[in-house]
Structure 1
Amino acid sequence: MRVFNCDHCGHLVFFDSVQCLHCGNTLAFVPDQLTMATLAPAPQDGAGLWRRMGERGGGASTGKLYRMCSNRAAYGACNFAVPANDYSPLCVSCRQTRVLPDLSEPTNLGRWQQVEAAKRQLFYTLARLGLEPVPGRAGPVFEFLADWPGGPQVLTGHQGGTITLNVSEADDDERARRRIALGEPYRTLIGHLRHESGHFYWDQLVQGGARLEEFRRVFGDERADYAAALQAHYAKGGDVGPWAERHVSAYASAHPWEDWAETWAHYLHMVDLLETAASYQLGVTVPTPPSGPQPAMRHTVTDPFGSPAPSFDDMVGQWVPVTLLLNSLNRSLGQSDAYPFALSAGAMVKLRFVHDLVQAVRQPPAQAA
């Protein structure tokens, strides 16, 4: 996720910002331009309208008109804006959510706010890849649900274009409990949504397509009994064999569909983190012994969404030192590794398949201003 600058004063602002802390102006993300915008009230143009401010210090001028997503005023749950000529009260991200938990329950309100924030991050990355929404097709829809006494447990998953998430995953203690119980080194809200979006995009981009047979050669035959495969996987507990030789995670070894979804999520992790690093103009030199046979090499991170886009090999060459730095910084603060993975050559083959497929089908996204 890149960082942004306030249109008015140039101060650094972030994707989830609602106000510039330097100049105090109102901020919103404008999905039609894929950027953060500084907005000024424009009551002269209509009730509830805001106008994007012009050049820094120039105040409101002839910028585009917007309305705030209604979830911002009602719940403080969104910072996206809606173009004035789009008459939906909800932004393009919030309108994808079809079912909400009971928001009269304060715990659910806080959980839902966190889930929507993660979904907006997913929306941004998919939009930068030119995949949101899928050209000519509807995008995924979401149901965010909570368990209730006596009712069935809400399971996170994907079915027929609908992504369901149990909002208890927004609770740090519950997420940690499940991470430990399932032997997972990494479990986050954005990770869940990226994984489940992988199932959606398999249906859209692989199923019945020209590269289905290639998918089966790389990931395996998805026609294998899915329910039986998951049952067998969970029956093994923590002993799932040498999965790391060919998969990005232990869960990926359960079935080709899960292998794809885990690899897809990992690819989204990669492009998001590299975009963040590139926006800070990060260069990383991996230390080597002074007497080593070769001098240390500096890796300068390039924007994975840039033009021209870096090759997959270039991305991997930047990814490894960036994640080494990230984990070293975390350890210096007494935290666990932020990136607890070591990708094998077999996993890289699958990541390359995802990269090549995305590059082949992607549409030109809105230009990030």
Structure 2
Amino acid sequence: MRQLHCPKCRTATFFELGQCSTCETLLAFNWKLFAFEALKSAVPCANRTLIGCNWSVDDGHPFCHSCRLTRTIPNLGSNRNVMLWKRVETAKRRLVYDLTRLDLPLAIPSGPQISFDILSDETAGFPIMTGHLAGLITLNLAEADDAERESRRVAFREPYRTLLGHFRHEVGHFYWEVLVGQTSLKSAFQLIFGYESRSYEAALNDYHQRTERSYDREAFISEYATSHPWEDWAETFAHFLHIVATLDSAAALPLSLDERSRRTLEDPYMEADFEALLASWSPVAYSINELNRSMGLNDAYPFRLTPAVRGKLHFVHMAILHFRQPTEPGPDATEAPQTAEE
């Protein structure tokens, strides 16, 4: 996240805030300008009062460009659900920021668009599975509960599990269709990730029934990536977003950088040189892990980028660059009606 500032006093301000911590100016994030503006000069999202959405609207729609992608909201009959939904939407706004900075579409022409169902086990009466289908991302509201998410992280032996991580992974499935599935890159994908024609359902069933949990750490970024080529792609796509977003944050830090690193950090989302991206990422990842350890915390990025994993990340980067070629105008997101979970 590029450093943001209060429009009145110029204090550095976190992306999630709705009020300047120094001069107390009420803030609204302008999605098109990537900057805060004073709320008195903006039209706030209709969700500002309910869940603290700090984005503005500019086209007459009541919801901001992030909130309007939510098709189904959780049952708001409890304060806990409202609190958890607020956390979900806060993470989702970072995802929408990522995708916008990458210049990726939120919809496929004459096809699906990205939308979200935020559902709860209690209302549904059965366990909600977080997942993706034809652009629709379903998220279990319980993932916004820190204790519940940590319990699942330990149970599934995952080194990393966050709301934002879920969103970046699930949206990767949508972008497989956009960047790979209907393009000339499909054959290259199959050489690198494997053949996606294998039954997806059968592959996931096999994965969850495994008793032996070891896997080839040289070839895969995570254990879940071994389940199916589509999951390997989604995990890798999520890690690419982790990298460029964190480098974008690092750009504002007082770092000692050489000329090439400074050029990379001008806009990591649009950097065309993959090796330059990774050259900048390695010291940043090491630094944030050391800082976490000095505070008694786990590593912020507990992953090792082996040559095979670097190759997969390179393919994701190449697919994004390939999409950006000016062959035809990119699609805009259409509107998803917002309804409540019943």
The answer, yes or no, to whether TM exceeds 0.5 is yes
8 A Cα contact 1:283 1:301, kept in partner: no
Query: Offset of 1:150 from its aligned partner?
Result: 7.8
What residue identity is the alignment partner of 1:352?
Answer: H
Aligned length: 325
Partner of 2:56: 81
**Structure 2 residue 318 is the aligned partner of structure 1 residue 356:** yes
Counting only pairs closer than 5 Å after superposition, residues 41-52 of structure 1 correspond to structure 2 as 51=41
Query: Offset of 1:175 from its aligned partner?
Result: 0.7
- Partner-residue secondary structure (3-state), 2:47: helix
Partner of 1:342: 304
Structure 2 CA distance, aligned partners of 1:141 and 1:237? 35
What residue identity is the alignment partner of 1:323?
Answer: A
Partner of 1:20: 20
What residue identity is the alignment partner of 1:263?
Answer: T
RMSD: 2.2
- Partner-residue secondary structure (3-state), 1:99: strand
What residue identity is the alignment partner of 2:192?
Answer: V
Aligned-residue sequence identity (percent) comes to 42
**Structure 2 residue 42 is the aligned partner of structure 1 residue 69:** no
The counterpart of 1:241, out of the listed 215, 235, 238, is 215
8 A Cα contact 2:173 2:234, kept in partner: yes
C-alpha distance 301-252 of structure 1, shift in aligned 2 (>3 A): farther
- Partner-residue secondary structure (3-state), 1:302: helix
C-alpha distance 301-108 of structure 1, shift in aligned 2 (>3 A): farther
What residue identity is the alignment partner of 2:54?
Answer: N
The counterpart of 1:152, out of the listed 126, 133, 136, is 126
8 A Cα contact 2:102 2:269, kept in partner: no
8 A Cα contact 1:140 1:200, kept in partner: yes
Structure 1 CA distance, aligned partners of 2:246 and 2:123? 39
Partner of 2:223: 250
Structure 2 CA distance, aligned partners of 1:150 and 1:142? 16
What residue identity is the alignment partner of 1:68?
Answer: P
- Partner-residue secondary structure (3-state), 2:243: helix
- Partner-residue secondary structure (3-state), 2:39: strand
The counterpart of 2:240, out of the listed 258, 264, 267, is 267
What residue identity is the alignment partner of 2:38?
Answer: T
C-alpha distance 71-141 of structure 1, shift in aligned 2 (>3 A): same
Partner of 2:274: 312
Structure 2 CA distance, aligned partners of 1:237 and 1:196? 25
The counterpart of 1:330, out of the listed 292, 295, 313, is 292
TM-score, scaled relative to structure 1: 0.83
> Structure 1 or 2: larger helix share?
2
The counterpart of 2:142, out of the listed 159, 168, 174, is 168
8 A Cα contact 1:281 1:301, kept in partner: no
What residue identity is the alignment partner of 2:67?
Answer: C
C-alpha distance 23-167 of structure 1, shift in aligned 2 (>3 A): same
Structure 2 CA distance, aligned partners of 1:148 and 1:104? 11
C-alpha distance 248-21 of structure 1, shift in aligned 2 (>3 A): same
The counterpart of 2:255, out of the listed 282, 292, 300, is 282
Query: Offset of 1:132 from its aligned partner?
Result: 4.0
C-alpha distance 255-304 of structure 1, shift in aligned 2 (>3 A): farther
Cα deviations by residue, 1:57-111 (Å, 9 ceiling, x for unpaired): xxxxxxxxx31000002x133111001xx12110111010010111121111111
Query: Offset of 1:238 from its aligned partner?
Result: 5.6
Larger Rg: 1
C-alpha distance 76-227 of structure 1, shift in aligned 2 (>3 A): closer
Q: Which has the higher contact order (CA 8 A, sep 6+)?
A: 2
8 A Cα contact 1:278 1:301, kept in partner: no
Structure 1 CA distance, aligned partners of 2:87 and 2:8? 28
8 A Cα contact 1:182 1:238, kept in partner: no
Structure 2 CA distance, aligned partners of 1:362 and 1:134? 15
> Structure 1 or 2: larger strand share?
1
Query: Offset of 1:206 from its aligned partner?
Result: 1.4
Query: Offset of 1:240 from its aligned partner?
Result: 3.3
Query: Offset of 1:38 from its aligned partner?
Result: 2.5
- Partner-residue secondary structure (3-state), 1:218: helix
C-alpha distance 184-348 of structure 1, shift in aligned 2 (>3 A): same
Q: Which runs of 5+ in 1 are unaligned?
A: 41-50, 52-65, 286-297
Query: Offset of 1:29 from its aligned partner?
Result: 0.6
What residue identity is the alignment partner of 1:223?
Answer: S
8 A Cα contact 2:113 2:136, kept in partner: no
Partner of 1:8: 8
TM-score, scaled relative to structure 2: 0.89
What residue identity is the alignment partner of 1:100?
Answer: I
What residue identity is the alignment partner of 1:177?
Answer: S
Structure 2 CA distance, aligned partners of 1:268 and 1:306? 10
Structure 1 CA distance, aligned partners of 2:123 and 2:318? 46
